[in-house]
Chain A
Amino acid sequence: MRQLRAWLLRFKGLFLKNARERELADELESHLQMHIDDNVRAGMSPAEARRVATMKLGGVDQTKEAYRDRATIPFIESVVQDLRFTLRQLRKNPAFTVTATAMVALGIGASVAIFAFVDAALIKPLPYQNPSRLLFVTETTPEIPRANFSYPDYLDWKKLNRVFDSLDIYTQRGYVVGTSAGTEIVYGARVSDGFFRTLGVSPFLGRDFYPGEDLPEASRTVILSYAAWQKRFGGKKEIIGQPLILNEIPHTIIGVLPENFHFAPVEDGEFWTTIHAAGDCDLRRSCHYLSGVARLKDGVSVEAALADVTRIAKDLEAQYPDSNRNQGATVAPLSEVIVGDVKPILLLLLGGVALLLLIACINVASLLLVRSETRRRELAVRRALGATRMRMIRQFVIEALVIVMVGSTAGLIGSHWAMQILKGLIPTDMIAGMPYLNELGLNSRILMFAGGLAALATALFSITPAFRLSNLDVREGMAEGSKGSGNKVWTRIGSKLVVLELTTAMVLLVGAGLLGKSFYRLLQVSAGFETKNLITMRVRAPVSAYGEDPQALALQRKVMDEVKSVPGVTSVALASTLPLSFNGNTDWIRFVGRAYNGEHNEVNVRGVSSDYFATLQANLLRGRTFADSEDISKPKVVVINQTLAKKYFPGEDPIGQRFGDLDLNAKSIKEIIGVVDDIREGPLDSEIWPAYYYPINQHPDFVYSVVVRTSQAEQSLIPTVADAIRRIDSRINISSQTTMTKRVNDAPTVYLRRSSTWLVGGFATMALLLGVVGLYGVIAYSVSQRTREIGVRVALGAQRSSVYRLILKEAGMLALAGIMIGTGCAILAASLMRKLLFSTPPWDVTTLICVAAVLGASALLASFLPARRAASVDPISALRAE
C-alpha cells in the first residue's frame, strides 16, 4: 500500500518538475545558509564557512541529482528524454520519417485487412455449439463427389448409423410470399425436425421444431431468421403464433433464430420449414436433393464415421440394386464445406500480403541502416561522452517503436477502409453464400495479430541499427569525413537485403502472372454459345392458376409471344435450367436395343423451348431441333449434346436412336432427333457432362428461365422485358433479372480468379516498386561511397562507358541473383496454389520469362540513374572533395 502510494507520487513527480526543482533549490539554499551561519558563529570566515558547508552537503548538484532520482522514476524520465530526442530527429528528417512510416502503414494495413477476412472465414468458430464435432454428410456418385441424399436413404442412414448423436437434413428452397408490391421469392430451407438441435442452436424467440413436426401429418410451421423478423415483421414479439402464407400454403410462425446464426449452404435463408415429405420426389429412393448435417458421438473420429456410413451405403446398395447402385458415402467437417471454396484464395492472399509486408520491412530496415551510417558521428560522440551501450540501443528501440506505432496506427485505420472496400467488391450473389463475413471488422484477435506484427517489426528495426553499433569505432567515427570500414559492412548487408526483396517481388509477380494467365484462359473457354446480348430471368407463375399442363403450356407460349413483341428483342427461349449454372439435375438413362447390366448412365437433363438453340446461337451439328408444335400429344423427342453422342455412340449416328429410364417404361422412351455442339451447363472450369434437351412443351412447367437475345445493349431492356411478362398476370414472380455477360463475370469461378489476380497483382506491383526502390538505394549509396575511387579511375583515363559498366554490373549481379533465386521460389510457391491455376502449369515458361524481363528492365532502370551520376563524376572535384 505504502509502496504503491510512493510509486504514484513518483509518477506524479514526472509532471511537476519545475515547481519541485524550485522548492528543492530553496530548501538547499536555506540549509546552506543555516550551516554557514553556524560556521561563521564558530569563527570561520564567510568564504570558508560556505566552502565547508557545501562540502559537507556533498555538492548541491549531486544532491539535486539524487533527490531527482527519488522524486521521479529515473527510467521513465530518461525514456521520455530519448523519446523527445527521437521525435526531434524524426522531425528533422521528414523524408525518411514519412517513407518509413508509410511503408509500415502499407505493410501492416494490407496484412491486417487480409487477415481480417482469414479470421472471419477460417479462424472464428461457426456460431454453433462445439462446431468441430459437426459433419457434413451426404451420398456420393462416381460423377459427383458430394451428391445428395434421397429422403428414404436419409431415413435409413439415420436409423442404421452407430457414429452420430444425431443426423439431420436440409434442402434450400425458394418461397413465394405476398408483399405490398406483389409477390417475392424469398430463400429458406426445408429441414428435418432436429436440424437446429444438431447444430446446437436455440431460437432467440419462440420454440424449436418438435420431434415429429417434419412428418406429413404435422401442421405446417415456420421459424424465421433474425433478419427476416426485423425486415418483414418489424421485430415485433407478437409475431409468434401468427399465420404466414408460403407458396400459397398457410404456415404458423413458431420461432425466431438468434441474430448471429448463419448457415452458409442455405444462402440468406429467411424461412425455415420442416421437410413434410409427401411429394413424389420425397418418397422416391432415386430422387436426391437433401444434404445432411451430423453431430459426431464423443470419441468417434471422422474416419470411423466415414467407415460406418460407407458400410450403410454398401448395405443399401445390396438391398436396392436399382436405385442405389454406385451410391457411396462421404463425410467432411462442416466448416470445410462452408468455407472450402474461399480457403485456398484466402491463404494465397495471406501469403501474398505477408511477402509484401516482408519487403516493406526490409526497405525500412535498409533505410535505417543507411541512416545509422550517416549518424556514425553522432553515435560516436554520444559514446565518447559516456552513453552506455544499453542506453544507445534503447535509443534505437524507441526510434523503431515510434515509427512502428505511428505506422501501424495508420495501417489499422487504413485496413478498416480496405476491408469495407474489399467486401464491397464481392458480388451480392456471392456474399449471400458467405454469411460469416457479416461480422468482418477489427476484433481482439485481429488487434493481437497487428500487435504481433508491430512487435516483430519493432524488433527488426531496433536490431538492424544496433547491429551497426557493434562495429562502431569511436575514434574513427569522430574523425571528420572519414569513410571507415563500416560502409562496406553496410553495402554487404544491404545487397543481401535487396536480393531478398527482388526474390520476393519475383515470387509475387510470377504468382500474379500465373493467376492472370489462368483467368485469361478461363475466359477463353468457349461456353458453346454467344454470351453477348443475352438477358436472362427466372419466372415463377402461381401454381394454383398454372399448375395444370394446358394452362402452363398456354402461359409458356404467351410469355414468349409477349417478350418477342418488345422492340429490340430478336428471339426468346425458355429453359428449365440456364447454361453456366451447374452440372446436376440429372437422369439415369438406358438405351433401347442395347445390353444393360444396371449401370447408371448419369446425364444432365434440360427442358428447353423450340427456339432455344437458335436463341443461344448454339451450333446444331446433326439432325434437327424441336418444333413448337411438339407437345404432350406428340412422340417424345430429344436433342443430345456432342459429349453424349461421343460417349455412347462412338462411330455411330445417334439420330433415330432411342433411350428411356432404367426400366425402359414405354412412357419414358425418347427418340434422338439432333446433336448440338456442347453447351457448358456447369461453371467454365468444370468438365462437360453428357446432356440431353427435351422440349419443354412436352413437360410444361410453371417455373423456368427466360432467355432473350437482343439486337441492342441488353442491360437497358431488362425492365421492359420483365414488365411485358408481368402484364400477362400480375401474380407472376420474376427474379434473377440479369445478363449472361454478368452471369459469366460474377460466377464464383471467374470472380474468385479475377479478384485474386487483381489483388495479388496489386501486391506484386507494390513489391516490384519497393524492391526496385531498394535496389536504387543500394546502388546510389554504393556510388556515393565510391565517388573518390571513380574520380581516380576517370582521372587515370577510364572511359565513361567503363564507369557505366562498373555500376551496371554491380546492379546486374544483384538483380540476376534475385531473379534466379526468385524463379526457384516462385515455382515452389506456384505449386502450392495449383488449385487456383487453370490450364497453366506452375512452371509456365512464358510467364517466368516475362516476369524476369520486367524485373530485369526495372532493375536496369533503377541502376541507370546512379550509374549516370557515377559516369558524370568530375575527377577534379571528386579528388578534391576529401
Chain B
Amino acid sequence: MSKSEIWQGTLALMTLKTLDTLGPLHGYGIARRIEQTSGDRLSLNYGTLYPALLKLEQEGWIASEWGVSENNRKAKYYKLTRAGRKQLEREAKEWNQTTAIVARFFEPVEDQS
C-alpha cells in the first residue's frame, strides 16, 4: 500500500481502535498514534483526519469536548461513545473476516491428494 493512500473506511476503523485503546485523545494524538502503531510505515496527511473525525462524530460513534493536553495546551478531545464501541466490534469482526478470506487466497497451496 502506498504510504499516503489510506482509504476513508480504514482510517475510521483505525481511529476508533486508537480511541478504544488509549481513551479520550486529541486529533494530533490520534494521528501520531496511528503512525506509531503502523511502525511508521504509514504517513498520514494530518489534515485528512479532521473531516474523518467530523464524519464519525456526525454518525454518533465518537463525541468531542475541549480539554487541556499534557503540555497544558487547550485541545479538543475525542472519545468513543457506547454506540461507537459496538460499531468498532462490528467493524473489527468484519475486518477480520475479510482479511481472513483474502488471506486464504494467498496461502501456500495444500497438497492435492
Contacts and interface: CB of A to CB of B under 8 A. Distances in A.
B46 interface: yes
Interface string A29-43: 011011101100000
B22 to A, nearest CB: 15
A735 interface: no
A69 B76 CA distance: 20
Contacts of A44: none
A67 interface: yes
Nearest to A58: B47
Nearest to A29: B74
A35 B60 contact: no
Contact of B58 (A10, A24, A27, A56): A10
A26 B32 CA distance: 19
A63 B55 CA distance: 14
A66 to B, nearest CB: 5
Contacts of A30: 26, 28, 69, 73-76
Nearest to A41: B71
A26 B75 CA distance: 8
A550 B75 CA distance: 114
Contacts of B94: none
Interface in B12-47: 26-29, 32, 45-47
Interface in B39-85: 45-48, 50-51, 54-55, 58-60, 69, 71, 73-76
Contact of B47 (A6, A33, A66, A71): A66
Contacts of B26: 30-31, 34
B46 A58 contact: yes
Given A30-B26, A30-B73, A67 B51 contact: yes
Nearest to A62: B47
Interface string A45-87: 0000000000011110011001101110000000000000000
A88 interface: no
A59 B46 CA distance: 9
A9 interface: yes
Given A2-B59, A57-B47, A71 B76 contact: no
A5 interface: yes
Contact of A28 (B50, B51, B55, B73): B50
A34 B69 contact: yes
A31 B31 CA distance: 10
B45 A27 contact: no
B47 A34 contact: no
Nearest to A33: B73
B28 A31 contact: yes
Given A10-B58, A35-B28, A24 B74 contact: no
Contacts of A9: 58
A26 B74 contact: yes
6 contacts: A27-B50, A30-B26, A34-B28, A66-B47, A67-B50, A69-B51
Interface of B: 26-29, 32, 45-48, 50-51, 54-55, 58-60, 69, 71, 73-76
The 4 A-B pairs at the shortest CB distance, nearest first, are namely: A63-B47, A58-B47, A6-B58, A70-B51
Given A5-B60, A28-B50, A34-B69, 4 more contacts: A2-B59, A26-B76, A63-B50, A66-B48
